[in-house]
Amino acid sequence: MDNARTLGELRTSGYASRSVKDELRANLIGKLRAGERLFPGILGYDETVVPQLVNAVLSKHNFILLGLRGQAKSRIIRQLTELLDAEIPIIAGSEINDNPFAPLSAYGRQQIELHGDETKIDWVSRDNRFVEKLATPDVTIADIIGDVDPIKAAKGGHLLSDELTIHFGLLPRANRGIFAINELPDLAGKIQVGLFNIMQEGDVQIKGYPVRLPLDVMLVFSANPEDYTARGKIITPLKDRIGAEIQTHYPKDVQLSAAITKQEAWTSRHGFEDFTVEIPDFIAETIEQISFEARDDQRIDKRSGVSQRFSITALESAVSNAERRALLTNEKEIVPRISDIYAALPAMTGKMELEYEGEQIGAHQIAKDLIKQACGVTFEGFFLGIDFAPAVHWFEEGNKLLLSDTTSAEECVLLLGSIPELIDSTLVPLDFRKDEKAKLVSACEFVLEGLYADNKISRNEDGGFEAVTKAKRDRRGMIYEDFTDIEGYN
């Protein structure tokens, strides 16, 4: 059936308008009854965040998402549009999506008075009913609410106090839709006053002229918890009018974090049909473990957090380094190694906000420490109980090994084959064969990195492995002297 094009046709069709919060609620109920997945692509929130979001919508509440960066707040907000109707009718030409049955603006009321049932109707899709604004200190009341437009007044011959002279801001233009403000605490106090006044009273003053705007809008905000709770950041009357406060969080475990990264990271590398990309589980888990180590590290600012984008970009960069190696060596398999994770340091350092101690050490060194710690944890999970004593003894005899990140898998296997029992011991818990050389090299390098993390062998700045020195190193890379070597110590 074609959409109605005039107000008369709309009345005849039996269309019944409803508020945007009623619309969201009704469509949510329909999805719940049908068993549809809410917020597809959002992982790890099914038992925590999603039920709270459902309750907020069912309660017809405006709400705020509190969470550190990289916790999918913006994605959740944007997916709320899926709960809107596919299309709704508005008075044609209306800037604020005037309801044909109850127009708000002077323009809309004039159209009804002039044309009656012949008033033209347009249809607005759900995507065009979502307005998003990043709050910054320079945002003005004119941006959010609107301002007097002297050009409109001059062209139409109106007084400046006439509503027809107003250029509407973002909030009125979101009428009958969803209006989202990201990083709410950064919004100036006077703008927040305008928000809560229009939420509660439905009116606002523009250039000293009172304008009645009982908007029909769902208001959604996001904020960092530290900013949100800081004194004076959000004015009390606005806080009081936000119906629900929903806290997001980082993934609870490495496996879930890896699933999110796998979903979001670009690793397919289309364009090279003769190339195959395979990311071993121990590489994927190591990259996720780096994020977990970073979130627990005292040298990294916990108030800022470590975004999920940390893992995503690190994995993409590691795959890219493996891709570069494959192009240089004419190999067909792209299999990341630990050395590729080290090559991804530039993708990590910019995503860590450091405390004072961390600033003294430097982001580059801290990232290396985190890789070491993460490898140690992941290594224990894969190779617990496997004896690599012959390999360690080989290094203690003075042998050294350097595996460049541009060395082909063929050459690396030859070098690794000189280390007693390393290859056979490495394959014990892993699900691939000895002739899968790219995977084998990645696994063996992971084992060597694990032995380094366990302080059984040493790793130099060039990525070479050798026997551990007399200095004792703990998991965080700190050096302790061997007191038995100090003269006069008993």
Contact by Cβ (8 Å): 452, 372: yes
Burial class of 82 by CB neighbour count within 10 A (0 to 12, 13 to 18, 19+): middle
Contact by Cβ (8 Å): 148, 160: yes
Note the pTM of the prediction, 2 decimals: 0.85
Rounded (10°) CA dihedral 95, 96, 102, 107 = -30
* pLDDT recorded at residue 148: 65
Cα separation, 210 vs 91, in Å, equals: 24
What are the average pLDDT values for consecutive 10-residue runs of the chain, which has 490 residues?
86 93 97 95 95 97 92 95 96 93 89 94 95 88 75 57 71 92 86 76 62 84 76 75 93 95 89 81 97 95 90 96 93 94 95 92 95 96 93 94 92 95 93 92 96 93 82 42 37
Which residue's structure tokens are 């894969």? 382
Query: For the residues of 26-55, what is the DSSP string, one character each?
Result: HHHHHHHHHTPPSSTT--S-TTTHHHHHHH
Cα separation, 266 vs 162, in Å, equals: 53
Burial class of 147 by CB neighbour count within 10 A (0 to 12, 13 to 18, 19+): middle
Sketch the domain layout of the chain as residue ranges.
Answer: 7-247, 254-480
User: Which ranges of 35-149 would DSSP assign to H, the alpha helix?
Assistant: 49-58, 73-79, 106-115, 141-144
Class of domain 7-247: alpha beta
- List 180's β-bridge partners, or say none: 132, 220
Query: For the residues of 252-293, what is the DSSP string, one character each?
Result: SSHHHHHHHHHHHS----TT-TT-EE---HHHHHHHHHHHHH
3-state secondary structure of 91: strand
Determine how many CB atoms are found less than 10 A away from the CB of residue 392. Answer: 18
3-state secondary structure of 209: strand
Contact by Cβ (8 Å): 53, 247: no
Cα separation, 202 vs 242, in Å, equals: 15
Contact by Cβ (8 Å): 248, 50: no
Helix axes 409-416, 437-453, angle to 10 degrees: 50
Burial class of 401 by CB neighbour count within 10 A (0 to 12, 13 to 18, 19+): buried
Cα separation, 342 vs 42, in Å, equals: 29
Cα separation, 403 vs 106, in Å, equals: 74
The CA distances from residue 386 to 380, 430, 436, 440, in Å, are 9, 12, 21, 16
* pLDDT recorded at residue 151: 61
* pLDDT recorded at residue 309: 94
Task: Note the residue count of the chain.
Answer: 490
* pLDDT recorded at residue 142: 81
Its sign, for the CA torsion 99, 103, 104, 106, is positive
Q: What amino acid occupies position 48? A: T
Residue 156 CA, chain-centre distance (Å), reads 47
Cα separation, 428 vs 417, in Å, equals: 16
Cα separation, 145 vs 63, in Å, equals: 20
* pLDDT recorded at residue 318: 97
Its sign, for the CA torsion 188, 191, 193, 196, is negative
